């Protein structure tokens, strides 16, 4: 347990220090959302209708792009070798790293949502709904994306290839995330059904992600 | 000095074959090492010195043969009883020297010594609170050595350990290795340069 | 050069060389029968002659999923048993599966043109198949991105299995999303209501296409094994020069 806590503490510390990537994700999120009105026009009614979708797409891309180096950095400096050799099961170590990443890079996205909601003319209820769905859904994005991050180490390739591999897997999260937000804003569906499916997706990815990442990392370290 | 190993340990490899990327690096290698013994793995470039150490560390899977450790902690696998000191130092430049060291001590767990004392031993006590980014290559290597001292492990797998170390550093490191062997530890080092201690030579891939 | 690696594939090459002509012949015969029966099947009272696209479309759609199943089995072979033929099988299957999936999409949209009045409709089934197609392409990109096949094999196997776990979830999500946005699906042809005049040629075509896959897959596996041998020989040549 101390081993995992130490790993989480270390990763968060690195993310928050100089050269860490925690705040770049939020900045990217902000930039994507600011770009949208330039593409669709400054029509506030249209923006508020598209708001949840824009926020979700921005969060999806931001959390995916910051994941790129989740394992790669540890691989390059040799830390991953020592982590793989240690008594801590690699699956748990992967889960701890993903959790640390979510705390440092995913949670700030949720916190930034209300500010961005203002820009998109979302009211209080809508902003709250989007923030809540992001809170429930971004863990799924992180834990699905970590598979791609682990593949990037095995393949010695990151970037676009990883995005191409992982994005199709995150379609369900996007569908239910946006659907739950829309349901809370306009109906006619209840908020509960898509939201609980979204939570279920997060829980499933919490299990699949670490196992798949560890399977890819194990013996992929040569 | 606390007793590191209860009994005598014996590391045996039989018919070990290593294949990487479809290429056979070495085949049917037999080797042996016992407590208190240092083995220097020598051979030309590409003969598989690093691969052998990574096989022992469990980071590569042998294509054939067996590697067995007798007399160690029965609850732990061989890699869990090894320290691996590779080409890369496993240090995070954003963290301070002492943060780097205490992270590995916490993460690796097991029997441990005082981190500050190990830093003094390797001559980094003056830099404990500085970010690791400010360290020179030699100092980074010293910090890696401090990891071997802080967390007690019976088997040291060292890949070109004296790289980047100056004369004083090599002398200090020789003393550390002798102390480790005296405690009943085991060292397997891949090296071009003289190791600085008495070691049995294991030549691989040089037969051509 | 590792002879261990080649022992098994060598037997495979010998065996497949004997089986392949028979398989190819059976495929041609069944395809001929199936195509003849499809052509002579009666027109649908609603869809007219366009219903005949079904005889091509459905086998392709069936194979697009079947091939992923084959790749998942092969991936288990790679990850669990480390069988030397498993990743050859997985790699060889990906482009074939992608082709079947593409044909399913193409015939689906050709079929949709007279039905919907447009080539593309975000219909739940078509959308799921499109995502499947994207995943096939991603997998092929992965195989192509890495020079060392054994390194790519592991990553591809993990991705294939994760994909296999995810495909039902994606299918479910897309169905759900589709009913949310357009309640009435246009294509409602339950398999049970299918007339016998359609069912028999359809089954023949499905078997014929499956045989076609097996034939192509075996041939592709042979090519892949030979390609890897060339690679090993070249590497051997390089290391001899160095020594």
CB contact under 8 A, B19 and C2: yes
Q: Does A208 touch chain C (CB under 8 A)?
A: yes
CA distance B206 to B186: 24
The pLDDT of residue C126 is above 60 = yes
∠ CA B107-B111-B115, rounded to 5°: 70
When mean pLDDT is compared across A189-198, B143-152, B170-179, C86-95, the lowest value belongs to: A189-198
Identify which of C23, C55, C57, C17 has the alpha carbon closest to the alpha carbon of residue C36: C55
Asked whether C89 and C77 are in contact (CB, 8 A), the reply is yes
Q: Which of B59, B83, B89, B133 to mutate to test the interface with A (most CBs of A within 10 A)?
A: B59
| B122 Cβ contact partners less than 8 Å away, ≥ 6 residues apart | B142, B143, B145, B146, B149, B172
Q: Which of A144, A151, A173 to mutate to test the interface with C (most CBs of C within 10 A)?
A: A151
Beta bridge partners of B68: B12
The DSSP 8-state label assigned to residue A221 in this structure reads -
CA distance C211 to C206: 9
The pLDDT of residue A75 is above 50 = yes
**Residues from chain B contacting residue C150 (CB–CB below 8 Å):** 21-22
Subunits with at least 3 CB pairs below 8 A relative to chain B? A, C
Query: Nearest residue of B to residue A93 by CA position?
Result: B107
How would residue A100 be classed by pLDDT, with cut points 50, 70 and 90? Answer: very high
Of C151, C163, C177, the CB nearest to A179: C177
| C109 Cβ contact partners less than 8 Å away, ≥ 6 residues apart | C119, C120, C126
CA distance C77 to C157: 9
The pLDDT of residue C182 is above 60 = no
Residue C1 has a pLDDT of 37
Is B92 or C9 the better-scoring residue by pLDDT?
B92
∠ CA A127-A132-A134, rounded to 5°: 95
Of C138, C155, C169, the CB nearest to A154: C155
Burial code of A191-210, b = ≥16 C-beta within 10 A, e = fewer? beebbebbbebbebbbebbb
CB contact under 8 A, C228 and B22: yes
R_g of chain A, CA atoms, integer Å = 18
CB contact under 8 A, B99 and A17: no
What is the average per-residue pLDDT within A112-121? 88
The pLDDT of residue C196 is above 80 = no
The DSSP 8-state label assigned to residue C186 in this structure reads S
What is the average per-residue pLDDT within A65-89? 88
The total of other beta-carbon atoms located within 10 Å of residue A87's CB is: 15
Residue A204 has a pLDDT of 92
**Residues from chain C contacting residue B24 (CB–CB below 8 Å):** 1-2
Query: Nearest residue of A to residue C156 by CA position?
Result: A151
| B11 Cβ contact partners less than 8 Å away, ≥ 6 residues apart | B32, B33, B34, B56, B67, B68, B69, B70, B78, B155, B186, B188
Mean of per-residue pLDDT scores for chain C: 83
SS3 B107: helix
A118/chain C closest Cα distance in angstroms: 27
Query: Nearest residue of C to residue B20 by CA position?
Result: C150
Interstrand relation of B23-34 and B10-20 (parallel, antiparallel or unpaired): antiparallel
What is the average per-residue pLDDT within A180-195? 81
**Residues from chain A contacting residue C139 (CB–CB below 8 Å):** 165
The pLDDT of residue C243 is above 60 = no
Q: Does C149 touch chain B (CB under 8 A)?
A: yes
Could you report the per-residue pLDDT of C213-241, keeping only the tens digit for each?
999 999 999 999 998 888 888 877 877 75
Asked whether B25 and B12 are in contact (CB, 8 A), the reply is no
**Residues from chain B contacting residue C239 (CB–CB below 8 Å):** 23
CB contact under 8 A, A77 and B89: yes
> Which uninterrupted H or E stretch holds C168?
helix C149-181
The pLDDT of residue C21 is above 70 = yes
Domains of chain B, each with CATH number or no CATH: 10-203 (3.40.50.300)
Torsion sign (Cα): A214, C87, C101, A165: positive
Q: Count CB pairs under 8 A between chains B and C.
A: 26
The pLDDT of residue A188 is above 60 = yes
The pLDDT of residue C96 is above 60 = yes
CB contact under 8 A, C231 and B22: yes
CB contact under 8 A, C131 and A171: yes
CB contact under 8 A, C159 and A189: no
Residue A95 has a pLDDT of 95
What is the average per-residue pLDDT within A98-121? 91
R_g of chain C, CA atoms, integer Å = 21
Q: Which of C79, C135, C162 to mutate to test the interface with A (most CBs of A within 10 A)?
A: C162
| pLDDT tens per residue across all 208 residues of chain B | 334 445 688 888 888 888 877 677 888 888 888 888 889 888 888 788 888 888 888 888 888 888 888 887 778 888 888 999 988 888 888 888 989 998 998 898 877 888 888 888 888 888 888 888 888 888 899 999 999 889 888 899 999 888 888 888 888 888 889 999 888 889 999 888 777 788 888 888 754 3
The pLDDT of residue C5 is above 60 = no
Residue C75 has a pLDDT of 92
- Percentage with pLDDT > 90 across chain C: 35
Residue C197 has a pLDDT of 74
The pLDDT of residue C189 is above 60 = no
Residue A222 has a pLDDT of 64
Predicted structure pTM score: 0.87
Query: Nearest residue of B to residue C230 by CA position?
Result: B22
The DSSP 8-state label assigned to residue C42 in this structure reads P
**Residues from chain C contacting residue B208 (CB–CB below 8 Å):** 243
CB contact under 8 A, C131 and A201: no
Q: Does C148 touch chain B (CB under 8 A)?
A: yes
A138/chain B closest Cα distance in angstroms: 26
Q: Does A183 touch chain C (CB under 8 A)?
A: no
Could you report the per-residue pLDDT of C45-59, keeping only the tens digit for each?
666 777 788 888 889
CB contact under 8 A, A220 and C151: yes
Q: Which of C4, C8, C9 to mutate to test the interface with B (most CBs of B within 10 A)?
A: C4
CB contact under 8 A, B24 and C228: no
In order of A108, A122, C63, the CA distances from A119 in angstroms are: 17, 8, 47
Residue C2 has a pLDDT of 42
Mean of per-residue pLDDT scores for chain A: 88
What is the average per-residue pLDDT within A191-204? 89
Beta bridge partners of B18: B26
Interstrand relation of B155-159 and B186-190 (parallel, antiparallel or unpaired): parallel
Q: Does B90 touch chain A (CB under 8 A)?
A: yes
Q: Does C223 touch chain B (CB under 8 A)?
A: no
Asked whether C118 and C66 are in contact (CB, 8 A), the reply is no
B18/chain C closest Cα distance in angstroms: 10
In order of A94, B32, B42, B161, C91, the CA distances from B201 in angstroms are: 38, 11, 7, 16, 43
CA distance B134 to B124: 12
**Residues from chain A contacting residue C164 (CB–CB below 8 Å):** none
Could you report the per-residue pLDDT of A29-39, keeping only the tens digit for each?
999 999 988 89
CA distance B78 to B74: 9
CB contact under 8 A, B107 and A6: yes
Tokens of C237: 């040549």
Residue C67 has a pLDDT of 94
Could you report the per-residue pLDDT of C31-46, keeping only the tens digit for each?
999 888 888 877 766 6
Interstrand relation of B64-70 and B155-159 (parallel, antiparallel or unpaired): unpaired
The total of other beta-carbon atoms located within 10 Å of residue C200's CB is: 14
CB contact under 8 A, C5 and B19: yes
Subunits with at least 3 CB pairs below 8 A relative to chain A? B, C
Identify which of C222, C211, C172 has the alpha carbon closest to the alpha carbon of residue C13: C222
Q: Does B24 touch chain C (CB under 8 A)?
A: yes
The pLDDT of residue A134 is above 90 = yes
ipTM rounded to 2 decimals:
0.88
H-state helical runs in chain A: 2-16, 22-40, 44-67, 72-76, 79-85, 90-101, 107-119, 124-155, 160-166, 171-186, 192-217
SS3 B91: coil
When mean pLDDT is compared across A50-64, C30-44, C192-206, the lowest value belongs to: C192-206
Subunits with at least 3 CB pairs below 8 A relative to chain C? A, B
The DSSP 8-state label assigned to residue B131 in this structure reads B
Tokens of A72: 């790669």
The pLDDT of residue C3 is above 60 = no
How would residue C184 be classed by pLDDT, with cut points 50, 70 and 90? Answer: very low
CB contact under 8 A, A14 and B95: yes
**Residues from chain C contacting residue B17 (CB–CB below 8 Å):** 2
Residue C90 has a pLDDT of 92
H-state helical runs in C41-148: 54-76, 86-116, 124-145
Residue A8 has a pLDDT of 94
């Amino acid at each position: 347990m101390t081993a995992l806590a130490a790993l989480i503490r270390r990763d968060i510390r690195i993310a928050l220090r100089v050269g860490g990537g925690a705040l770049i994700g939020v900045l990217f999120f902000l930039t994507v959302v600011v770009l949208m009105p330039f593409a669709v026009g400054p029509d506030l009614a249209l923006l508020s209708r598209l708001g949840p979708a824009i926020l979700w797409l921005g969060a999806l891309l931001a959390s995916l792009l910051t994941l790129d180096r989740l394992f790669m950095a540890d691989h390059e400096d040799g830390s991953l070798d020592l982590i793989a050799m240690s008594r801590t099961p690699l699956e748990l170590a992967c889960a701890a790293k993903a959790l640390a990443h979510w705390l440092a890079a995913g949670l700030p996205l949720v916190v930034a949502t209300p500010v961005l909601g203002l820009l998109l003319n979302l009211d209080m209820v809508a902003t709250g709904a989007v923030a809540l769905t992001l809170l429930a859904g971004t863990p799924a994005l992180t834990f699905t994306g970590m598979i791609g991050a682990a593949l990037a180490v095995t393949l010695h390739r990151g970037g676009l290839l990883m995005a191409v591999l992982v994005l199709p897997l995150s379609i369900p999260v996007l569908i239910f995330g946006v659907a739950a937000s829309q349901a809370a804003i306009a109906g006619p569906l209840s908020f509960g059904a898509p939201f609980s499916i979204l939570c279920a997706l997060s829980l499933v990815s919490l299990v699949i992600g670490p196992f798949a990442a560890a399977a890819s990392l194990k013996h992929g370290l040569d | 000095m606390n007793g590191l190993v209860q009994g005598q340990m014996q590391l045996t490899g039989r018919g070990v074959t290593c294949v990487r990327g479809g290429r056979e690096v070495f085949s049917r290698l037999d080797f042996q090492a016992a407590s208190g013994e240092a083995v220097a793995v020598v051979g030309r470039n590409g003969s598989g010195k690093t691969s052998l150490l990574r096989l022992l560390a469990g980071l590569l899977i042998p294509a054939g043969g067996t590697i067995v450790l007798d007399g160690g902690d029965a609850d732990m696998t061989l890699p869990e009883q090894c320290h691996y000191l590779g080409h890369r130092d496993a240090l995070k430049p954003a963290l301070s020297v002492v943060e780097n060291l205490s992270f590995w001590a916490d993460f690796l767990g097991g029997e441990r010594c005082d981190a500050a004392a190990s830093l003094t031993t390797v001559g980094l006590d003056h830099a404990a609170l500085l970010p690791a980014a400010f360290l020179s290559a030699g100092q980074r290597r010293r910090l890696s050595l401090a990891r071997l001292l802080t967390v007690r492990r019976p088997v040291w797998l060292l890949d070109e350990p004296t790289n980047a170390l100056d004369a004083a550093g090599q002398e200090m490191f020789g003393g550390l290795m002798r102390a480790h062997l005296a405690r009943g530890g085991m060292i397997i080092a891949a090296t071009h340069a003289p190791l600085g201690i008495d070691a049995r030579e294991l030549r691989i891939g040089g037969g051509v | 050069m590792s002879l261990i690696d080649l022992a098994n594939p060598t037997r495979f090459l010998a065996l497949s060389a004997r089986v392949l002509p028979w398989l190819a012949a059976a495929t041609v015969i069944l395809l001929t029968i199936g195509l003849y029966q499809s052509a002579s099947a009666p027109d649908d009272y609603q869809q007219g002659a366009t219903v005949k696209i079904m005889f091509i479309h459905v086998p392709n759609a069936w194979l697009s999923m079947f091939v992923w199943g084959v790749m998942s089995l092969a991936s288990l072979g790679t990850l669990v048993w480390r069988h030397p033929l498993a990743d050859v099988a997985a790699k060889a299957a990906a482009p074939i599966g992608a082709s079947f999936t593409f044909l399913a999409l193409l015939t689906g949209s050709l079929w949709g043109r007279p039905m919907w009045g447009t080539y593309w409709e975000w219909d739940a089934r078509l959308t799921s198949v499109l995502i499947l197609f994207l995943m096939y392409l991603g997998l092929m990109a992965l195989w192509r991105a890495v020079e060392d096949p054994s390194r790519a094999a592991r990553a591809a196997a993990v991705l294939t299995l994760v994909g296999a776990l995810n495909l039902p979830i994606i299918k479910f999500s897309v169905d759900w999303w589709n009913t949310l946005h357009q309640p009435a699906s246009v294509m409602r042809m339950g398999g049970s209501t299918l007339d016998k005049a359609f069912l028999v040629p359809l089954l023949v075509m499905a078997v014929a296409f499956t045989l076609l896959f097996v034939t192509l897959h075996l041939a592709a596996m042979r090519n892949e094994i030979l390609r890897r041998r060339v690679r090993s020989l070249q590497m051997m040549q390089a290391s001899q020069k160095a020594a």
